[in-house]
Amino acid sequence: MTVLYTTDHEWLRIEGDTATIGITDHAQSQLGDIVFVELPKVGRQLKKAETAAVVESVKAASDVYAPITGEVLEVNDALSAEPALVNSDADGKAWLFKLRIADKSELGGLMNEAAYKAHTA
């Protein structure tokens, strides 16, 4: 399993041909209390950099972009009932959606944990 990060504060957990995607703990702390999460539809084809989901907090709504191209395989329905999970477990239980990776070469433009930490410092 590999974990990669985007400059837009999304994380990807890569396992085989599947990427589990969420927002980073840094992103949720900037947003504040999460009150609503809009997830993509299962089966939707997403292109890299396309808006995939929306996370709304008491401060603002923030788009979540597809960090890579792929098909939505699964969404985290638990977030519909409990959007605050994003605040309490952004890097774990609060994953947003899973994609079937269409082009593994797109992963090359993403950051590892050390590079992401430097990016947010």
Helix or strand (DSSP H, E) at 116: helix 113-120
**CATH code linked to domain 2-103:** 2.40.50.100
Q: So what's the pLDDT on residue 1?
A: 86
Is the CB of residue 76 less than 8 Å from the CB of residue 83?
A: no
Q: So what's the pLDDT on residue 75?
A: 98
What are the sequence ranges of the domains in the chain? Answer: 2-103
Q: So what's the pLDDT on residue 38?
A: 97
Which residue ranges in the chain fall short of pLDDT 70? none
What pTM did the predictor assign? 0.95
Q: So what's the pLDDT on residue 74?
A: 98
